[in-house]
Amino acid sequence: MKFDIVALGELLIDFTPKTVPGEDETYFQKNAGGAPANVLAALARQGKRTAFIGKVGADSFGSFLASVLEDSGVSTSGLVYSDTASTTLAFVELNSDGDRSFTFYRKPGADMMLEQSEVNLDIIANAAIFHFGSLSMTHEPARSATFAALAHAKEQGKLISYDPNLRLPLWPDEATACTQILAAMPYADVVKVSEEELLFLTGSQDLATGAKQLKERFGLSLLCVTLGEKGCYYQAGAYTGHVPAFSVQAIDTTGAGDAFMGGLLSRLLDYGARPSGLSDQELQDIIRHGTASGSLATTKRGGIPAMPSKAEVAALLVN
């Protein structure tokens, strides 16, 4: 089967606290979590053929995650099950300022136990884009599996998309995080970082300087720096510019970056999945699909359930 895009990485369950007005008790809502899965769900909602590569436990949580992916239109033919490790569970704490922190029930869980031999190379060979993040590089054997998949995707001439998605508490220390995240950069063509991640990876306080440094050091064909409600700054070839976000009633920014990535890659696929050779106008059109998708995701709660459809993105873009 042919796919537009395959993503490899973490897949876990987030338990998010909920309080019911008038009740003292807090209960936890079970959600599928993991940035690569969110990106694929966004792409599937925007009409693209997607597949996930990763590992869950052979337990009820693993079956739940597989069914969420399938229901979202994401193929699970690359999902494998561990008999020894349990599905990763994360408990989300909402701080008073609305920030989220995670406590892991078992670290590392099954998703970090993906072996190189378990990566379905046929799926990668049958997809136009390979997308990944850095969380699967925080532990072995998933780290080696990620690099083996990257080497295969590169060899096959696939477009490689990378969202480092820095989560410092999951790394032993900052220096290791920086080194390891940069170690995967030479494989990447399209990269999305936040301003904080750009500063962390380059040490540059200046947006344009840091972006140029990252893009040129690794020969990236498109670098997007997402700026929350300010939209996205980009550099590609000789082009550089800014695409604003859309003015929306934002209620929950969870998954906005993943929705951005989904919208961007979906439109990039329409242009043949090759950013080099595109005009600045075409690049802006692609990034506008990303910012529209990201902005729409902030208007709904949650990760996967907040991903906008192709029609919703199109409706926002005509405004």
Between CA 34 and CA 91 the distance in angstroms is: 13
Q: Which of residues 59 and 229 has its CB atom nearest to ligand ADP in the complex?
A: 229
Between CA 87 and CA 100 the distance in angstroms is: 21
Scanning 11-19, 99-107, 125-133, 245-253 for contacts with ligand ADP by CB under 6 A, the matching segment is 245-253
User: What is the nearest approach in angstroms of ligand ADP to the Cβ of residue 295?
Assistant: 3
Scanning 17-25, 114-122, 174-182, 226-234 for contacts with ligand ADP by CB under 6 A, the matching segment is 226-234
Q: Chain-centre distance of CA 68, in angstroms?
A: 17
The pattern of x and - marking residues 259 through 298 that bind ligand ADP according to CB under 6 A reads -x------------------------------x--xx--x
Scanning 95-103, 131-139, 147-155, 253-261 for contacts with ligand ADP by CB under 6 A, the matching segment is 253-261
What lies within 8 Å, CB to CB, of 189 at 6+ separation is 159, 160, 161, 220, 221, 222, 275
Question: Looking at 256, 265, 278, 304, which residue binds ligand ADP (CB under 6 A)?
Answer: 256
User: What is the nearest approach in angstroms of ligand ADP to the Cβ of residue 312?
Assistant: 14
Q: Does 253 bind ligand ADP (CB under 6 A)?
A: yes
Taking CA atoms, 152 is separated from 120, 145, 158, 273, 274, in Å, by 10, 11, 9, 18, 18
In this structure, what are the phi and psi dihedrals at residue 315, rounded to the nearest 5 degrees? -65, -40
Q: Does 248 bind ligand ADP (CB under 6 A)?
A: yes
Q: Does 220 bind ligand ADP (CB under 6 A)?
A: no
User: What is the nearest approach in angstroms of ligand ADP to the Cβ of residue 127?
Assistant: 23
Scanning 67-75, 176-184, 223-231, 278-286 for contacts with ligand ADP by CB under 6 A, the matching segment is 223-231
Between CA 116 and CA 148 the distance in angstroms is: 6
Picking from 100, 76, 41, the residue whose alpha carbon sits closest to that of residue 266 is 41
Between CA 87 and CA 263 the distance in angstroms is: 28
Q: Does 250 bind ligand ADP (CB under 6 A)?
A: yes
Pairing type for strands 3-8 and 26-33 reads unpaired
Q: Which of residues 257 and 275 has its CB atom nearest to ligand ADP in the complex?
A: 257
Residues 159-218 that bind ligand ADP (CB under 6 A): 194
Taking CA atoms, 236 is separated from 203, 213, 278, in Å, by 21, 12, 9
